[in-house]
Amino acid sequence: MTGLTGLFRVAKISRIEVLAVGPDVPRTTWASMEPQIMSLNLVRVTDADGAEGIGASENYSGNGFDLSSFEGMRTVAPLLLGKEALDREARWREMQNLVQPLPPGTIGPIDVALWDLAGKRAGLPLYRLLGGYRDSIPSYASTPQLDDDGAYLKHVEDLMSLGYRAIKFHAWNVPERDLSMLRAVHREFGSAGLELMHDAENRYGRHDGVRVARELESMGFRWFEAPYIDYDIQGYVELRRRVAIPIVPHGLWLWNLYQFRSALELGAWDALRFDVTEMGGITQARKVMALAEAFGLTCEPQSWGYSMIQFPNLHMGLAFSSASFFESPVPYEPYEFGVANPIRPDALGRVWAPEGSGLGMEVDWDQIRSATIASAAFDA
């Protein structure tokens, strides 16, 4: 059943399936780390009418597939069996054990799956169910670490030919080496009308953070991301006192509304940043979007990673006015595992809402099953 009549019917959760998937894909890296091995944690929630919702998260490791989020979901999922799928706020609160923090990426996929299910029952794309601010958003290319300055210059040319007008750089996170590359990019493309950002992946010390920020400011960069670990609130407050370039957090270290509120009250950043799937799902993420708006800030969902985590972050950016970009990881292919309709920008560098209700994500179940390394299923 579709439409609002279908939405308001009782929708008891009858089955939850949790999968840990180990894709064999080309591996990229950043911050001078080993090539990153990324597991994909997938949950499928089915209600008594057969409506289904999908959610996912991912774990990063330089040494084998990390199953911590899968194990977290495996223990939390049975708590929801037999309960109303459409009461998402209640289900979200039932998943908080309030004893120890759960692994990041545990609650988020389950919550996203419930929202996906609700959108499908309503016959609405998720961004419209959330409010529907727009149906497209500018995209920026988010680079991997490359070998040298010349490789980055060639990469920028290629990205511009694809229509990108904004690019964020991941590099070695060695300040002087990063600056050499960023200066070269600015010399070559500074008059091309590009929006440029730099992500330091939490790797700089405070002195280097100020030095790099000042130089990026002089080159007109759009923002400086994650010079320090997100927990170093005082370091960020001091940095913002000394520079004018917008400062943005990393976005994968803070997971709840209270942490974000405390940081904003102290004036830590010029925007908020998070991954919906890591920080507790859409139920909490929409509150963080509202918090950013209340402080007069933008809120930039991060979507580096598999297409399955890109979809909910795209819907958040389309639903709320406080987002200004969608993050497109490049090259595309390593991240498009498991979906038949991956997200790519158009020739003008914009990403459009997926077709269909809910997330609008078409899962390639044959591909998912072929790479599944652990699974669990629970029935009411």
Do 168 and 248 reside in the same domain of the chain?
yes
Domain containing residue 29: 3-123+365-379
> Which string of b and e fits 287-303 if b means at least 16 CB within 10 Å?
ebbebbeebebbbbbbb
**Does 360 reside within a domain?**
no
Report d(CA 30, CA 75) in Å as an integer: 32
50 touches 56 (CB < 8 A): no
**Full 3-state SS string of 48-111:** CCCCEEEEEEEEEECCCCCCHHHHHHHHHHHHHCCCECCCHHHHHHHCCCCCCCCCCCCHHHHH
Do 151 and 93 reside in the same domain of the chain?
no
300-343: per-residue pLDDT in tens?
Answer: 999 999 999 999 999 999 999 999 999 999 999 999 999 999 99
Q: What is the mean pLDDT of residues 113-134?
A: 97
**Does 337 reside within a domain?**
yes
Q: Is the peptide bond before 331 cis (omega within 30 degrees of 0)?
A: yes
Q: For residue 273, what is the domain's CATH number? A: 3.20.20.120
In this prediction, residue 100 has a pLDDT band, given cuts at 50, 70 and 90, of confident
Do 164 and 280 reside in the same domain of the chain?
yes
Q: For residue 108, what is the domain's CATH number? A: 3.30.390.10
DSSP type of residue 333: G
Strand, helix or coil at 14?
Answer: strand
Do 228 and 99 reside in the same domain of the chain?
no
Report d(CA 137, CA 117) in Å as an integer: 24
Single out the residue of 40, 160, 138 nearest to residue 351, CA to CA: 138
Residue 342, both tokens: 């991956």
Residue 8 has a pLDDT of 59
Report d(CA 220, CA 228) in Å as an integer: 21
Report d(CA 36, CA 155) in Å as an integer: 20
Do 28 and 159 reside in the same domain of the chain?
no
pLDDT over threshold 90, residue 178: yes
**Does 237 reside within a domain?**
yes
Residue 244, both tokens: 């004018």
292-310: per-residue pLDDT in tens?
Answer: 999 999 999 999 999 999 9
**Does 81 reside within a domain?**
yes
Do 14 and 162 reside in the same domain of the chain?
no
Do 189 and 227 reside in the same domain of the chain?
yes
Give the CA distances from residue 214 to residues 183, 209, 241, 265, 365, in Å, rounded to whole numbers and listed in that order. 13, 9, 12, 24, 48
Do 180 and 266 reside in the same domain of the chain?
yes
Q: Which residues pair with 167 in a beta bridge?
A: 141, 196
Tell me the pTM: 0.95
Do 167 and 275 reside in the same domain of the chain?
yes
203-213: per-residue pLDDT in tens?
Answer: 999 999 999 99
DSSP type of residue 213: H
Residue 159, both tokens: 């990205």
Give 174-209 as a DSSP string.
-HHHHHHHHHHHHHHHTTTT-EEEEE-TT---HHHH
> Which string of b and e fits 124-159 if b means at least 16 CB within 10 Å?
bbbbbbbebeeebbbbbbbbbbbeebeebbebbeeb
**Does 75 reside within a domain?**
yes
**Does 189 reside within a domain?**
yes
43-98: per-residue pLDDT in tens?
Answer: 999 999 999 999 999 999 989 999 999 999 999 999 999 999 999 999 999 999 87
**Full 3-state SS string of 347-367:** CCCEEECCCCCECCCCECHHH
Give the CA distances from residue 331 to residues 139, 194, 222, in Å, rounded to whole numbers and listed in that order. 14, 19, 22
CB count, 10 Å around CB of 68?
17
Do 50 and 169 reside in the same domain of the chain?
no
Do 144 and 250 reside in the same domain of the chain?
yes
Count of structural domains within the chain: 2
**Does 359 reside within a domain?**
no
Residue 1 has a pLDDT of 44
Do 306 and 157 reside in the same domain of the chain?
yes
**Does 137 reside within a domain?**
yes
